[in-house]
Amino acid sequence: MSPHWKTLEQLPQLDAIHEQSFGKPQVLFKHSTRCSISTMALNRLMRLASDFYQQADFYYLDLIAHRDVSAAIAERYHVHHESPQVIILKQGDATYDASHMEIAVAELMSEVNA
């Protein structure tokens, strides 16, 4: 795992991430360790330019191990659960989500900076 990514494993972390979204975009990646498409998406995301990591906070969620956190994200932000899935939080709202082959680094970078 890249040192730029923080691990999301506990429900209380969601409150902190929510608050941080008012100061800086928060990027959540919901990864299924049992899915090859998810692994491909994760590999694409791990190749982000290092300077891009200054523009947002990045979180990795193993949704197989932490289904409760994944479900809480879907409920709290009214985002249909998918896997793999990238969600961007800004100002306390989910402003972007993409899943499967829709996960594209260029689009993610554009949405973080929007």
DSSP H helices, 46-95, are 67-77
Check residue 1 and give its pLDDT.
Answer: 59
Summarised one tens digit per residue, pLDDT across range 18-47 is: 999 999 999 999 998 888 888 888 888 887
- Residue found by looking up tokens 């209380």 in the block: 12
Local confidence band at 72 (pLDDT 50, 70, 90 cut-offs): very high
Report d(CA 8, CA 109) in Å as an integer.
21
Question: Domain 5-113 sits in which CATH superfamily?
Answer: Glutaredoxin (3.40.30.10)
